[in-house]
Chain A
Amino acid sequence: MSEAKFSGLEPLNTIGNATARVDAVERVTGEAKYSRDIKLPGMLYGQVLRSPHPHARIRSIDITEASRLPGVRAIITSDNAQIVWGAGSISGGRQYNDPTKDATLHRRYIFNNPVRFVGDSVAAVAAVDRNTAEAALALIEVDYEELPFVLEPEAALADGAPAIWPEGNLCPDFRNNFEPMVSDIGDVEAGFAEADRVFEERYETGFIHNAQMEPRCALAYWQADKLTLYTPSQGISNCRHDTARDLGLEDHQVRIVCNYMGGGFGNKNQNQDADLVAATLSRVAAAPVMLEYSRRDDWLGVHGRWPTVQYYKIGAMNDGTVTAMQMRGYSGMGPYRKNSGGISGMDVYACPNRLRTIYPVYTNRTTSGNFRAPSEPHGFWGIESMMDDVAYKLGVDPVEFALKNMRRPTDDRPFTNYSLDEVITTGAEQFDWASRRRVTPGSDEGPLKRGSGFSFMMFRAGVGTSSAIVRVDSAQNYTLFVGVTDIGPGAKTTMGMIAAEELGVPLSQVEVVSGDTDRCPYSVGESGSRTTIQTGYAVVQAAKDLKQQIAAQGMPSGSEVLIASATPVPNTDGKTRQCFGAHFVEVEVDTRIGTTRILKYTTVHESGRIINPTTARDQIRGATIQGIGQALHEDLLYDPASGQPLTTGYYRARHLTHLDIPDIEVTFIEVDDGYGPFGAKTAGEAGIILAPAAVANAIANAIGKRMTSLPISRDKILGVLA
């Protein structure tokens, strides 16, 4: 068995000990009810009709025939259901909230006209069974006027490109200015002037669907004016608030329930249009409605990671010191700006002259949105491929290059703690970097060439707010109420372990109640690497409060209970808080047929104190594998002539199977920096950030050519070697 290694801290009573998930039994027996497993009496089935065109104006929708089909109970279209979906398009791509809802210029509705991508929703039907609903869709007659379309961000910004929105195709910022996102530090022109050498290159990355195993669905029903939604959500508090806002209701009129969900990796956080469509169908039909997405519905109708183009210019001295860094980037957002379009990675370097300009651009492809470390893997791949290239051209070992140029704490920008040196050197030693990397890339004889690459990072581990409630009864049974749903990392268990530790009781004495906005307080949502830090900290504070009450009043007796809650707003005293990581990869490339095999994969992470070693290990391994998939396989190809997507689904996108998976060595260096719950940081997104860069750098080391386009598929490798 591949054990993870831990060093630096000793386990506590509960925290730090390998712990089975508290709901693992339900998951292995089939008892766990996911959203689509739920049946309510009188439940109808819903289906969505989607645009077959990448860009078209709807002249008319005729639902007469469809309405007459026996068993059809409701049909909604843009003619009769103008429901805004605030989280579906946001000026500036920031977190959806009331100010952004009011400010957003380019509104997205549950049904849009014009339709702006193949798969854009046009209508929805509720019927007595699934087949009737599907048949009804086929009877809806839509008259489309096709419009010109554009698929690539640079083409979308060129003169004469079809305008997807009236102002053109550059997404507006949160102030509704049509400006790129700019970060301008120091003076890059001076930096380039000072440099011995200047390097330039263009990189591009593909669209990566979140591809979670559970397709989208939503079960809605109304009792008087209260809406209940059983929906797979990684942020029930967010979903409730978004849904209430979109439907013109108060928060307390919306209940979101999700006890089990099948992954999401960022596409199940806010509400989704499926929730609103189901709610509307249910209202019209006066019955519960289970809206089901097919896998293709999910692929086109939800979202994946934005494709990018990145132009880098780096200035450096001959000794490897970087004097200037410049990036001009383009993010293909689809026709709605659901999230930021960020391209991150440059800020892990200390270079005082850094200019980054990112254009988030509308295109007529499926929507882009958050996928596990939304701004990172593609950005880190771009900059760390570039820097790896610069290092080799200067004759410097990439590890030395990183240690020389990486950002470190300074007096005016201190960190809560800093482990990047140790993380990198530990990894290099464990991996045997000195022996495995080819000092001269591509130098192996014969068609099978080996090489090694590395990547490093620091990533946000900042603190923030959430809520927790904890209760104790006279039998000394504790109940913890937290608004998590456990998207896969084991949040219920992690929260339970934190409570148990703080309360000084075994985990078996703590019941975790989660997944229901009627019962659970606010949680930030399992996204952005925040739940352990933010909700976990709230758990600690609530437990402390409860202990104080117990100390003051004694344990409850009879029917009494003691209840404590906390909604702390912590800070890190002005210090930057980061987690740290480094990945080292050895590959073998078969240069005759373009196959890449991973021979060795070493990861080292400092993610603060690890709450549950087992689930933390599997977060690193799982995220890393997703990153390998991005590096080597996954993309969504469109036919340029028709704007039709060609490679939706697991087969077409070549998702990794059991036989594609390398062993992944995991080492955690543990540190308690005095912040967060017991010093915990985050491990959920860390692995995916590093994998594409490390794998790509290994390939470059093996074949002696830089791959500038993800995924690094065999046709591209054979292309550069031809």
Chain B
Amino acid sequence: MASMGELAAGAVAPLRAGKNSDRSPQSILFLIALWVALGFAVLCLLTLLIDAVLDGLPRLDANLFTQYASTLSPETGGARAAILGSAMVIGFTALFAIPLGVAAAVYLEEFADGERWWNRLIEVNIQNLAAVPAIIYGMLTAGFALAIGLERRVVVTAAIALALLILPVIIVTSREALKAVPSEIRQGSLALGATPLQTVWRQTLPAAVPGVATGTILALSRAIGEAAPLLLLGGLSFVTYDPNGLLSGYTVLPIQIYGWVQQPQVEFRQLASAAIIVLLLLLLLMNAIAIIIRNRYQRRW
């Protein structure tokens, strides 16, 4: 009589006999369908990249980075104002969004009593905010700027709009990072006499930094590609100077691309493609940095 062990082994064996041991036509068709689905996504990505690169590579020259946009001579025009503008706006966006987002995440994760209705309200609220369309954040910031007398078409307003946009994302990812820190760390610190705030500041948060950094960089890379909120803030104008301060006019890469794509002349198409290549490279760089941080510094508890 077969023992339990032999029965079990017999039952397990077919599972290991081969990943796709079923050869029925439906199974094969199903697998092919899945491959097609996956291949479609990859194909779209490749087509998009190749299309942009083929079109824009001729214009990927020094002029792109050093010249301003030109309506007279698009062959020598460039995206200088947009590149510097993007850098400046993202810098301030990070400055506004990261402290606020991390602070809110700390409160929700470390101090808030999850049973109280107001804390639950805050959590639901953040979930809702993450799903609000980007252009509505532009409308919010436009209204806010008008209310306090701030000019709409300046760098600081753009930074506020983008910071509000990515705030929910930063809060959620920071919470996840904080959650991943084991409670022994916190308990040890408390046991040694530290206050909860000291514990957070000196133990929990530093331990969560890689996760927070990864999430933040990914959120910022989303902000760099956003144009919709900035359209409402008067972002679509012809700018031929470097941004020089919080209250300076500006343009950013996505908006410059938007403007160029709408011009039918082929030189502008090329410029748009070249600017797209620059933007995609920038995003690739940010994502690579995020992945490096995640791999090198992520601790396994």
Are A and B co-members of a single complex? no
